[in-house]
A and B are shown apart, each in its own frame.
Chain A
């Protein structure tokens, strides 16, 4: 039996994903700039449609 492999969680987002995360900010500006990312996502959520239960 071979060892199991897994990942921990996050992965770089493809460029077409409409939100920015801490890591995108870090790659662009050499810093996570967390407050700005929080504000951007808050605005994104306010503009987007409420999620549907079924995907």
Chain B
């Protein structure tokens, strides 16, 4: 069933005009905890309460009760191979970043954020090196918490991200995604997002890492495009489709935004995407939005 679902989602994305699709993360209950279930140290039976995402959410979350390490049961190779088998093009594989995992669990053991970040990064690195071995060439670490916790991102988060990609060869495209966060439901206008101004603080630092592509949102927050001038080395994945609004973007508007972006960054270092994953939308809406985005891209000569 998961393979069938992945095949349908991949096919839909390709038909819409997506060059580098994912399998839609069909096997996951969410993009963060799925990884944690393959680690030692996490307790999913006795959840703990916490306020997370700077107060945007309050709920029970898995607890970290012992030292975090990988269980040895690598999941990414299975998931990647099953999905790649039904894709005519190379797939991108995504994993959650250490800082984002930390904000979506309750630390009942470490009370030392840099140390916890390092141990989680090592578990991600294990999955990534196995993925490389399995032939995956586009690997993305999702670290939206960089935009919310800038001080932690700078003091130990960037090092953690580097650690995730330790020993990954140069022919692999290493990607980091850092959007400003999901609301609780579509068209919720009062949710607390990260401050997109924080991208300016992060940009110079992240551009110096050995990351090939940096994915940021723009549709929702409408950045000052001078931000793009700060990316001198990395390719920028620019989000031009809002993932939590039911209103479908207009092709002309997306096209215009791409043209404005190209005043600040080379065409060969610009990739177009939605702001974040499309899971919050219904399937028809997600498809319609992707088609608009790809139609706008096709107009750029």
Taking Cβ atoms with an 8 Å cutoff, the residues of B that contact A are: 1-5, 8-9, 12-13, 17-22, 24-31, 33, 37, 44-45, 47, 57, 59-62, 75, 78, 81-82, 85, 92, 94, 140, 142, 177, 179, 182, 184-186, 215, 237, 239, 258, 267-268, 270-283, 286, 290, 293-294, 297-298, 300
Q: How far is the CA of A10 from the CA of B13 in the complex (A)?
A: 12
| Chain B residues with CB under 8 A of A27 | 185-186, 280, 282
Q: How far is the CA of A3 from the CA of B271 in the complex (A)?
A: 6
| Chain A residues with CB under 8 A of B81 | 55
Q: What are 29 A-B interface contacts by the 8 Å CB criterion?
A: A2-B298, A3-B267, A3-B272, A5-B271, A6-B273, A7-B20, A7-B273, A8-B275, A9-B140, A9-B279, A10-B25, A10-B28, A10-B31, A10-B277, A10-B278, A11-B26, A11-B279, A11-B283, A12-B278, A13-B279, A14-B283, A19-B27, A21-B28, A22-B30, A23-B279, A27-B185, A31-B184, A32-B57, A34-B57
| Complex interface bits, A16-42 against B, C-beta within 8 A gives 1, otherwise 0 | 111111110011001110110111111
The smallest C-beta distance from A33 to any residue of chain B, in angstroms, reads 8
- Interface residues of chain B: helix, strand, loop or mixed (majority): mixed
Knowing A12-B278, A21-B30, A26-B184, the reply to whether A2 touches B1 (Cβ < 8 A) is no
- Pick the contact of A9: B29, B57, B94, B283 (CB < 8 A): B94
Q: How far is the CA of A53 from the CA of B33 in the complex (A)?
A: 21
Knowing A2-B297, A35-B60, the reply to whether A23 touches B280 (Cβ < 8 A) is yes
Knowing A38-B60, A53-B78, the reply to whether A11 touches B277 (Cβ < 8 A) is yes
